[in-house]
Amino acid sequence: MNVSRILAAGVITVMAALPAAAEKLSLPAISQYLNAMKTASGEFTQINDDGTISTGKIYIKRPGRVRFEYNPPDRTLVVSDGVHVGIADAKSNQKAEAYPLRRTPLSIILARDVNLSRARMVVGHTSDGTSTTIVAQDPEHPEYGSIELVFTGSPIELRQWVINDNAGSRTTVVLGELTKGGRFKDEIFALPKGAVIRQDK
């Protein structure tokens, strides 16, 4: 199971009533929005590279923590504890596996201090008149892949992301309305029990 594709887990919700002729959002404004998002939750749908679709719920607790609960028949669980990302497949007899979060593009928006103005981090910054899209990567390790983030403004909202991994796979995530705030216990971001830590992904 490819960790980058799983992390691309998304939320596919119709992006209705988008504002017309919106100005391109600045990198400092987007960074400020992400840094202000301490906790959030919402429904998601993941569109995989092969066209298959999964749904579920996402919980975010920045910095570093995220939990994807997939609905049946998928029943996959993906959890980041801030250091590693654990993947457990309830339909498999294999042990859960965990990989370093820093080696995934999702670590860019889960960082303690998101600074998209950092040199060579953003390699694309465009607007189609209704939304702003940025393409970001780890400037020290572009081989880890990239993440495309789509935002709307007034107020700024993260609408979707697309993860492009180093194997050429592309997984799209469209987010529904995120509920900001709330308290999530750290226990829900613990790695799956018995997860095997791997460093090669």
Domain edges within the chain = 3-14+21-192
pLDDT of residue 38: 95
Assign domain 3-14+21-192 to its CATH architecture.
Answer: Clam (2.50)
Exposed/middle/buried for residue 157 (C-beta within 10 Å: 0-12, 13-18, 19+): middle
For the stretch 32-83, pLDDT in tens is: 999 999 999 999 999 999 999 999 999 999 999 999 999 988 888 999 999 9
| Number of other CB atoms surrounding residue 178 within 10 Å | 18
Mean pLDDT taken over the chain: 87
Q: What is the pTM of this model?
A: 0.84
For the stretch 145-174, pLDDT in tens is: 999 999 999 899 999 999 998 788 999 888
Residue 18 above 80 pLDDT? no
